[in-house]
Amino acid sequence: MTGPPPLPPSHRIRSPVGGFLSLHARHAQSRTRFGRAHTMASPLQSLVTDDDRYQTAFQLFLQRSSEHQCMLDFIHAQLPDILDSVGHGKPHLNVIGVGSGAGQIDLEMLSELHLKHPAATVDNEVVEPSAQQLHNYKVLVGQKPELSFVKFSWNQMTAAQFEEHWKLKKTMKKADFIHMVQMLYYVKDPGATISFFQHLLAEKGKLLIILVSGQSGWGKLWRTYRHQLCNTEISQCVTTADIKSFLDSTGVSYRSYELLSQLDITECFTEGDPTGELLLDFLTEVLDFSKTASPELKAGVLELLRHPDCSVENQGRVIFNNNLGVLVIDHQS
């Protein structure tokens, strides 16, 4: 799914929109991204097994949704206040981007960090398993001479591999800002991953997490059809509601933000409409969902997608709730 789906979002906008591909982290490369191939019980096949169709569906999602815009709005309007106390006046800041994709969102955040702390230099650890995405990121950096204040360290590895690598180094280095945008769908244990990176925070450090909101249509879709649509091996049907429950249970304080986003899914309800079928593939992360799902599953998914819990109807259009959630966790002393 997307907005993130079961094989959720790899949102880091890619060209021509940008490089969020890893943001949403739902990329076809997710097959190698945070673990193993996305598998489903027969006869349903994961959308990511057909890279061309996946990419086409992802581009359609970008065109039809306001997801990337709501993320950019947050970065420019609210992130600066969050970053204000980061570093505590230090002349050098350490940043880690987990699942950085092609870097567009990373660079937007680094720009805001620089505006808040113009005198500080930055060491930026980029964690991204896709060689192609890392290449794209490096190309983007090469086009921006204004980033001379940043030293980039490139880590072609998954979050789990980075954790193992970090522990082997036995480094005492701490991070002032860590961001994980649309990538927790890919890790086996989101809670353990969050705990590890939180422990890397320096005093005044911040951990930023962006995921699908528990109040979104995705949340309702996943809660209802988790077993039919989601690959539970790598806990892909995770929302901010799940992460909040984990943080509450462990006594970790956090700040929460809701990012309003919409996705026009009107064509999903027209039998045989190519655009609708592509959107359904993306929403369910099932290849040719309309043709391969049982009549009961298809009818149930369509009914739920149109339900007020997931969508609103406006001037003949069906608008899916694609809201994102942001969680900000501080260094815990």
Which residues are part of a known binding site for substrate?
67, 322
Angle at 40 between CA 35 and CA 46, to 5 degrees: 75
Neighbours of 274 (CB within 10 A): 9
258 with 323: CB under 8 angstroms?
A: yes
Would you call 254 helix, strand, or coil by DSSP? coil
One DSSP character per residue, 118-171 reads: TT-EEEEEEE-S-HHHHHHHHHHHHT-GGGTTEEEEEE-S-HHHHHHHHHHHT-
β 317-321/311-314 pair status: antiparallel
Instruction: Give the whole-angstrom CA distance, residue 327 versus residue 45.
Output: 32
Q: Which two tokens stand for residue 280?
A: 């359904």
One DSSP character per residue, 56-109 reads: HHHHHHHHHB-HHHHHHHHHHHTHHHHHTTGGGG-SEEEEEEES-TTSHHHHHH
Would you list which residues are annotated within the binding site? 67, 322
Give which of 121, 123, 19 is closest to 72, Cα–Cα: 19
Q: Which two tokens stand for residue 80?
A: 């600066």
Would you call 164 helix, strand, or coil by DSSP? helix
- Distance from the Cα of residue 27 to its chain's centroid: 10
Q: Which residue type is seen at 135?
A: H
Instruction: Give the whole-angstrom CA distance, residue 314 versus residue 176.
Output: 44
Q: Which two tokens stand for residue 56?
A: 């086409």
